[in-house]
Chain A
Amino acid sequence: MFSYYLRLALLSIKRNPILSSLMVAAIALGIGASMTTITVNYLMSADPIPHKSDELFYVQVDSWDPNDPYDEPNEPPDQLTWTDANNLMNARKATRQVAMASSGAVIEPHGQDSKPFNAGIRLTFADFFPMFDVPFLYGSGWSESQDLAREQIVVLSRETNERVFGGENSVGRSIRIGGNQFTVVGVLNHWQPVPKFYDVTTGAFNETEDLFMPFLLKEELELPNGGNTNCWKSPEGDSFKAFLQSECVNYQMWVELPTERDKQDYLAFLNSYADDQKALGRFPRPLNNRLSNVMQWMEIQEVVADDARIMLWLSFMFLLVCLLNTIGLLLSKFSGKAAEIGLRRAVGASKGDLFMQHLVETACIGIAGGIAGLGLAMLGLLGIGSLYGDFAENLTSLDLTMVAVALLLALVSSIAAGLYPTWRACNIAPASQLKSQ
């Protein structure tokens, strides 16, 4: 029976090509617009590390100014001081822990013809790589003892390895960074979490860094500050050391806490740490320490842009207009078929049969609209990509989930749009239509 309805539907669509294509176009436009904005929002609010985002926690301790909170109403600073980052690292109270910072330096490749270039650096600890499931192409990360020994070792991004070593396995080779010799211990495979959750302070959708090196080298080599530095009181002294010991925040920290109990224990530890610091004359504000898991932190940092959300709502309203349009067009179309429906009813088709038949027809139009809408969504995403440039680079690709969502949305909304016109068409009294024939 279904294939018969399908044939009838195609016949009916062919009989009214203009009206049918208008409906397909209306659905396609609505789906195209909504899918474009849904995709951008979906990628912006995606879970960057789904299997453990509940176990990774961003650490905040309130080391701020006694007179003013870091942010209204009473938010602790979004980063740590050098002192706190190191103290919390040394305490080793979590399953895994990493403090980190961003920096930059000039890389001087070996060849005479290759020019020196500026590279973005992530300063971090050994746990970074296993904790965030960072994929390696060659070699591996480094060990805790290498962290403490402040060894001049480096992990390169795949792109940096291609630029400096032509993509060869460079593990064990030396590289000159910021005037110092480093040894390569590992090369990453392509790695671009979206959002770049581990540090969103300078933008949640930036590229990952060009190279990764031990955190304590910051002090050893006096590496410059990257990202945002905020101070509520200026350093006591003009040396690099004085800056590190100051109340300026520039460091991020994550801990891995597999169970709720671990989390409670760690929070208790943070509070007792803050009390210890109060005893030393620091932390003048009331106790206000926080642990946020990955998705909570993304929420707090407002990773999904307001504009994207505004566009999402506008595009849903756009879809609504397109569907109202489709309802209107379907009404016209089906009422044009009144005679045919009357005839079919008269020769014995039940209301349910007719309802099914017309629903199949509507679904066909919906699917066609959905497929065309997918095409439009791809165009829309290309458009967004070119309008926003590198900001949107990682936010404009359709994955299989989104394709399925698009088709489903098209199907559901077109059937919803078809319900009323179909119902009305089926309620035609057969006699009234047959009389005039």
Chain B
Amino acid sequence: MFNSSSWEVGPILRALMRNKVGALLIAIQIAVTMCIIVNAIHIILERQELMARDSGIDEANSFHLISTGFANDFNEQVTIETDLNTIRALPGVIDAVQINAIPISGGGWSMGLQTQPGAEFDGVGTAVYMVDEHVLEALDLELIAGEAFKPTHVRWRERAQTNWPDQTIITKAMAESLFPEEPWQQVVGKTVYINDNEPILIMGIIDKLQAPWVGWNNVEHAMLSPEKTLFSSSRYLVRTEPGRRDELMPKVEEILAESNKGRIIRDVTSMMDTRERSYRRHGAMIKILTTVMVILTVVTALGIVGLASFSVNRRRKQIGTRRALGASQSAILRYFMLENFLISTVGVVLGAALTIGLNIYLVQAFSLDRIDWYFIPLGMLVLWMVGQLAVFGPAKRAAGIAPAIATRTV
């Protein structure tokens, strides 16, 4: 049964050569479709990987807000102390800190740290978070080496003040970038320099905390500076017990707004919303590319259905004749399935070349990553299957053509 003559590759090829254009059209469609789909999936996976990164803080149960003083008699220092005490005492609140910038929010402060003093040496860029001793609890950070801040470490920072506290806690990633030669545990107790020559002692290391800028290459670089700020606007980050965030957000806003009329409370935002906002364009790109992929596959499949139906209709008489001469229904079915398989093969081979070509262009023009090699055979397989599925309907109909049709004239 499965000898080579029953596979009819020769006759199919000869028939195809008589209608090159139709077959070529399908092949090119398959090739371009494969090229788009594989590159789109590659971009989608890349974006999903970005979006899946952990910021290091308890995002699900945290929110933040801004308090801006405007009254002439606004006492910022007293307000901040009172606010933090009030928030921390609320039932359901785990802890809260004043912080100069919110992780993954897009806006923040960066500095360079260097291992040798002097303007001629390069620094390692890092995000700066100005926080007090409540930071580990409020941000849900794990101290993996060294010591935590104590209340005595924390100072007040004026708006135009330029010097820095004597201690810092940095992330493990930052420790590894600063001292690539040494294990991170040994970075505790080392002195680094800020502003070219101002010494700072690394007193602790935390496991993970992301910078405010999600598109930054060094997003894992962050340092904690033990200070509270008097910048006329303050950000508070509040961490609640699981499930109590939504109930506490309006409550905290109201309590703070009522407690002091010389300031406004604004931008009360959950960390989940902040994440959604920061990654929105990636999320959007994923949705758009997914839509494009689905529509494109449907269009290509419909094209295959259309052309296959047409070629079946044109060959009704031939099919009838073959059936009358003894070809089985499955032989007819196999003929069209195999014909499509051959066309698809040309398509996916061409598609593989196009896919690599587009990827090379995307890598050069938009500094995307290279495609993993196994995307290509997977894409080929998928397009083969789409072709076979699409052609099955028309082929089935062809197989159903009655042998008697051969005897009719038109």
Contact = CB atoms under 8 A, between A and B. Distances in A.
Interface of A: 19, 22, 26, 29, 33, 65, 67-68, 105-106, 108, 115-118, 178-179, 224, 233-235, 237-240, 242-243, 305-307, 309-311, 314-315, 317-318, 320-322, 324-325, 327-329, 331-332, 335-336, 383-384, 387-389, 391, 420, 424, 436
Contacts of B349: none
B26 interface: yes
Contacts of A388: 280-281, 284
Report, nearest first, the 5 A-B pairs whose CB atoms are least far apart: A332-B310, A106-B70, A387-B284, A325-B303, A328-B25
Nearest to B29: A324
Given A68-B122, A240-B159, A321 B296 contact: yes
A108 B68 CA distance: 12
Contact of B162 (A26, A234, A331, A420): A234
A7 B353 CA distance: 45
Interface string B212-246: 00000000000000000001110000000000000
Contact of A322 (B35, B72, B277, B299): B299
Contacts of A335: 310, 314
B22 A224 contact: no
B120 interface: yes
Interface string B292-315: 100110011011001101100010
Contacts, number: 143
B72 A179 contact: yes
Interface of B: 21-22, 25-26, 28-29, 32-33, 35-36, 39-40, 43, 68, 70-72, 119-120, 122, 158-163, 195-196, 231-233, 264, 266, 277, 280-281, 283-285, 287-289, 292, 295-296, 299-300, 302-303, 306-307, 309-310, 314, 362, 365-366, 409-410
B119 A233 contact: yes
Contacts of A26: 299, 302-303
A230 to B, nearest CB: 9
Nearest to B276: A389
B297 to A, nearest CB: 10
A106 B68 contact: yes
A336 B68 CA distance: 75
B294 to A, nearest CB: 11
Contact of A224 (B28, B159, B299): B159
Given A116-B264, A179-B70, A240-B159, A318 B25 contact: no
Contacts of A336: 310
B378 to A, nearest CB: 19
A320 B287 CA distance: 21
A115 B283 CA distance: 35
16 contacts: A65-B119, A118-B264, A237-B160, A238-B160, A238-B163, A242-B160, A307-B281, A310-B362, A310-B366, A314-B289, A317-B36, A318-B292, A321-B300, A325-B303, A328-B303, A332-B307
A329 B365 CA distance: 35
B187 to A, nearest CB: 24
A328 B233 contact: no
Contacts of B119: 65, 67, 233
Given A384-B284, A388-B280, A105 B300 contact: no
B196 A318 contact: no
B21 A331 contact: yes
Nearest to B232: A224
B29 to A, nearest CB: 5
Nearest to A65: B119
Nearest to B287: A387
A327 B25 contact: yes
A310 B303 contact: no
Contacts of A305: 281
Nearest to A230: B110
B150 to A, nearest CB: 25
B310 to A, nearest CB: 4
Contacts of B26: 328
Contacts of B36: 314, 317-318, 321
Contacts of A105: 70
A335 B315 CA distance: 13
B21 A391 contact: no
Contact of A325 (B233, B266, B302): B302
A250 to B, nearest CB: 13
A389 B159 CA distance: 33
B183 to A, nearest CB: 30
A424 B158 CA distance: 81
Contact of B292 (A33, A67, A116, A117): A33
A243 B231 CA distance: 14
A96 B289 CA distance: 46
B120 A67 contact: yes
A310 to B, nearest CB: 6
Contacts of B122: 67-68
A332 B264 contact: no
A320 B29 CA distance: 8
A328 B307 contact: yes
Contacts of B365: 309
B70 A178 contact: yes
A235 B162 contact: yes
Given A240-B159, A240-B160, A420-B21, A224 B231 contact: yes
Nearest to B302: A22
A314 B292 contact: yes
A315 B409 CA distance: 47
Contacts of B296: 318, 321
A328 B306 contact: yes
Contact of A329 (B32, B159, B306, B366): B306
A252 B110 CA distance: 21
Contacts of A238: 158, 160-163
A233 B198 CA distance: 12
A387 B47 CA distance: 15
A118 B300 contact: no
